[in-house]
Amino acid sequence: MTGAGRPSPPTHVRIAHVEWVEQRLTERDWQIIEVVNSLRLVTTHQLDRLLFSDLSGRSQVVSRGRVIRRLIAWRVLVALPRRVGGAGHGSAATALVLDSTGRRLLALRSGGDESRLRYPGVPGERTVRHTLAVTELYTDLIDRCRASGDVVVSSFAAEPSSWWPNGLGGYLKPDAYLVLTSRTMHFHWWCEVDLATESLPTIRRKALVYLDFYQRGQLGRNGVMPLVLFSVPTERRRDAIMQIISGLPDPANALFRVTVDYEAAVTLLESIKA
């Protein structure tokens, strides 16, 4: 641990240990590694919902706890020393990131290509809250798609994988990019997960960047212009941002959606069912 009580930066692990671990990983272990890598931070409660939903009650907690303790002991995962709350449902939970062995395992699996690996560094409190809020959006979507049975999350990318060239030499930097797929269509979204830490003028400038991108005829992945969702923590914040959107030129009202965070997944699913 560092003096600030945060995880120390990953140190070198012997390749013999990495190969030893690789031979003992289950399919669910690999799923955990992939999820934590793609989302950067995941709580134990979120993992319950994402990858242990086939179990319930005490058996879910016991099974997940056994798996996570083993992966931590093997240095595949590392837990943040502080427990976190307010970024999901229920009581405080442990947040997990990839440790050295986990990163080496993914590099080996991709033939040594480390371009898709996430290196979050030492996360501060604000980064933890925001990253877990993005993870919660994904987790809630998976929950609701699983329940609906007719829509799937066919793609979900957290930043920086969600970033997209803006046509001017820079990037649009949404917090997430996702595609929802039904039997008949695909629906593309860029998501801004707002924790009310930015000023309203900053939000307006951010919306204008997306609007300018659209008005210049630019397109996102697969030649599609995604809609943009602002997920916000309170109804008051929602109303304030909606007022900003209503004052922007067309087609702002068609391009943007604003919703409180606990309704974000529902809003996204309703778009593809409309």
- Encoding tokens for residue 169? 């030499």
Protein fold of 132-273: Trna Endonuclease; Chain: A, domain 1 (3.40.1350)
∠ Cα 34 96 42 (to 5°): 65
Residue of 6 and 239 predicted with greater confidence: 239
Cα–Cα distance measured from residue 222 to residue 188, given in angstroms and rounded to the nearest whole number: 10
Neighbours of 153 (CB within 10 A): 18
Q: Nearest 10 degrees: CA dihedral of 54, 58, 59, 60?
A: 40
pLDDT tens-place string over residues 82-92: 666 644 444 56
CATH of 15-122, one of 1.10.10.10, 1.10.443.10, 2.10.10.90, 1.10.1740.10: 1.10.10.10
Sorted by sequence, the CB contacts under 8 Å of residue 261 that are 6+ apart come out as 133, 136, 137, 193, 231, 232, 233
| pLDDT exceeds 70 at position 193 | yes
* Percentage, residues of the chain above pLDDT 70: 86
Amino acid at 129: R
pLDDT band at 1 (very low <50, low <70, confident <90, very high): very low
Could you check whether 15-122 and 132-273 share the same CATH topology? no
pLDDT tens-place string over residues 11-67: 578 899 999 999 999 999 999 999 999 999 999 999 999 999 887 788 888 999 999
Given this model, what pLDDT does residue 48 score? 92
Average pLDDT over residues 73-102: 79
Please check whether residue 95 is in contact with residue 46, taking contact to mean a CB–CB distance below 8 angstroms.
no
Amino acid at 153: V
Please check whether residue 92 is in contact with residue 48, taking contact to mean a CB–CB distance below 8 angstroms.
no
| pLDDT exceeds 50 at position 5 | no
Which sequence spans correspond to the domains of the chain? 15-122, 132-273
pLDDT band at 195 (very low <50, low <70, confident <90, very high): very high
Please check whether residue 234 is in contact with residue 260, taking contact to mean a CB–CB distance below 8 angstroms.
yes
Cα–Cα distance measured from residue 213 to residue 166, given in angstroms and rounded to the nearest whole number: 6
Cα–Cα distance measured from residue 157 to residue 163, given in angstroms and rounded to the nearest whole number: 9
Please check whether residue 102 is in contact with residue 29, taking contact to mean a CB–CB distance below 8 angstroms.
no
Q: What's the maximum distance between 2 C-alpha atoms anywhere in the chain?
A: 60
Nearest alpha carbon to residue 33 among 85, 97, 108: 97
